Amino acid sequence: MDTIKKEEGFSVIEILMVTGVMLVIILLGGGMSAKFAARRSVDNLNRNISSTLQIAKLNALRQGVEYRAVFANCTQLDNTDPDCPVCDTYDDFNAGDNAITITIEKGDSNRGSTNWCVEASQTRRIEQAMALNLDSITEADPLRLNFNPNGTLVDETGVILAQQIDIGVNPTSNAKIKRCGGITVTPFGRIGIIEGNWDGANCNPIDGNNEPSPSPSP
């Protein structure tokens, strides 16, 4: 009596179904991964800017002279005095730039400094889906925030600013992410970090994340 041998395996339809499910999982995973990376980029930029401002404020407290955080890249540095390199030309940050450079400079007085020595600079990439808003910074040529030795935020003459500074880190209009953030600096030098969700027009803080970052001890 002949025995009928059955071959085990997957049919073409089964293979296609499994392949389709795998593709869906890969696409969903890729989309979630991209959104997570964008969200992390917003938070990292937010905290990097805040940390740089904290450094400028801390240096002013420790050194007893004004320090400023300049939102520009120094393109021409005068090293005539090796102990005090001075920036002659800045490349200011403009909306839409894909990177932000913050230059830390030391003043020559505790109020109304006229000479500023470049001490350090940090450059951070701004992802394509993100926009950095510095419109509230009225100090121009270049855009900057000045801290005096008691940690307050002052203008170029040493007078305390009248209003809070708000720096926004938001998604661009065509971005698919909803993560947003920002940094607030009060006239009395309190630096706060905001982490929120973007509703298309405003950054709505996440509960518990709209708190000033701790100021380091002098």
In DSSP notation, 174-188 reads: T----EEEEEEE-TT
Residue 169 has pLDDT above 80, yes or no: yes
Mean pLDDT of the chain: 81
Domain count, the chain: 1
Predicted confidence at residue 214, as pLDDT, reads 44
Per-residue pLDDT band for 152 (boundaries 50, 70, 90) equals very high
In a domain, 2, yes or no: no
Range 130-140 average pLDDT: 84
Residues composing the chain: 218
Tokens of 81: 């005095």
In a domain, 5, yes or no: no
pTM: 0.76
Least confident among 6-20, 52-66, 184-198: 6-20
State the amino acid at position 171 in one-letter form: P
In a domain, 175, yes or no: yes
pLDDT > 90: percent of the chain: 40
In a domain, 3, yes or no: no
In a domain, 32, yes or no: yes
Q: Which CATH number characterizes residue 101's domain?
A: 3.55.40.10
Least confident among 25-29, 47-51, 73-77, 149-153: 25-29
In a domain, 43, yes or no: yes
Residue 50, number of CB atoms within 10 A of its CB:
22
d(C-alpha 175, C-alpha 177), whole Å:
6
Domain of residue 205: give its range: 12-212
Predicted confidence at residue 23, as pLDDT, reads 63
Range 205-213 average pLDDT: 62
Residue with the larger pLDDT of the pair 93 and 15: 93
What single DSSP character describes residue 135? T
Residue 24 has pLDDT above 60, yes or no: no
Residue with the larger pLDDT of the pair 78 and 200: 78
